[in-house]
Amino acid sequence: MTHTIQSLIVSFFHNYLRDQTGCSPNTIQSYCECIRLLIQFCCNQQQVAADALDMETINDETVLAFLESLEKERGNLPRTRNQRLATIKSFYRYLALQEPTLMDACRRICTIRAKKTDHKIMESLTKDEVKAILDAIPPDTLWHQRDYALILLMYNTGARVQELADLAVDDLKTDGAAQVKLKGKGGKERIIPLWDETAQALKRWLKARKHAGISAEHLFVNAHRQQVSRFGIAHIVAKYASQAGQECLSLREKKVTPHVFRHTTALHLIQSRVDIVVVKDWLGHADIRTTSLYIDINIEMRRKALEQCPPPGVEKDEPALWHQPQVMALLQSIAACNYVK
């Protein structure tokens, strides 16, 4: 091979992911972890050092064995396995462009199909649950002002947690038509309008932090006057969700995270009949198919609500007629089972 394994990896992460595609540091970190695990797996199999590993020895069978090990040995769920597979495919597509000798391996690896996963409805909050969390935040201290403004802004914008952590004071406009500028994946920027309530909460936080002598560039800071991390934001959300659960019983059954707030914003926009293209731009989705998932979720929620109210003459614990299997389908499935036996 013309390139060493080290040069290929450096080129993929720096030249391609960072410079060409503009991936976020979190995305690059996720890709890096996957490739590290793959190389470690191959080295253990071949009993060679990483520096001596020949990329041509990694084929579709190797990748399949690696994916199986992720599930059996590391306990990864199929969804995580599929994410790892997507990373490996992206990696090998790039390698094939750099090293023509890897094109056949790339082609075979790219034919590996993702594993089927159970359709899981994304966790979200009701408007009453959002209000309960906000009501659980006292208004009396500097950090309570920050937490209230942070969570209200999170719900208003549906921003990713890293987008909130990276926000600068200059990204905010609270006078006139209040708005905030978010920088999403790939460095793409979007402008989100703010409710008056959100703008006022942010003004109170800015005034409080100025009075406390905080002049940091970032909008949200921690007790050390440094940029709050995404883990810090997750801790803040979980803390108040737990406190709110003392009064709002439904919150006790939910694990509330910043991403749950993002799902909630998306779902509430869909339920308010906001055009899906607007929701797509609001959330910063690259593909409208991602946004369309929230339409499916909304329909599923309505279907479950309908199940709680069966038609006249049908007991609640009986399956409604439209949920019973069709006779022909049932016969076909029985025939198929008997044929296999």
Residue 153 CB-density burial (10 A; 0-12 exposed, 13-18 middle, 19+ buried): buried
Residue 134 contacts residue 265 (beta carbons within 8 Å): no
Catalytic annotation, pick one of 18, 185, 203, 254: 185
**What is the gyration radius of the CA atoms in the chain, in angstroms?**
25
Q: Is 259 a catalytic residue?
A: yes
Q: CB neighbours of 11 closer than 8 A, spacing ≥ 6? A: 3, 94, 98
Q: Where do the DSSP E strands lie in the chain?
A: 172-173, 179-183, 189-193
What is the C-alpha to C-alpha distance for residues 234 and 154, in angstroms, rounded to an integer?
11
185: left (phi > 0), else alpha (psi -120 to 50), else beta?
beta
Catalytic annotation, pick one of 209, 262, 280, 285: 262
Residue 187 contacts residue 22 (beta carbons within 8 Å): yes
Q: Is 190 a catalytic residue?
A: no
Residue 262 CB-density burial (10 A; 0-12 exposed, 13-18 middle, 19+ buried): buried
Catalytic annotation, pick one of 81, 84, 146, 160: 160
Nearest to 282 by CA among 300, 297, 302, 267: 267
Can you say whether the dihedral through the CA atoms of 100, 105, 106, 107 is positive or negative? positive
Q: Is 185 a catalytic residue?
A: yes
Nearest to 100 by CA among 243, 15, 200, 1: 1
Which residues are known to be catalytic? 160, 185, 259, 262
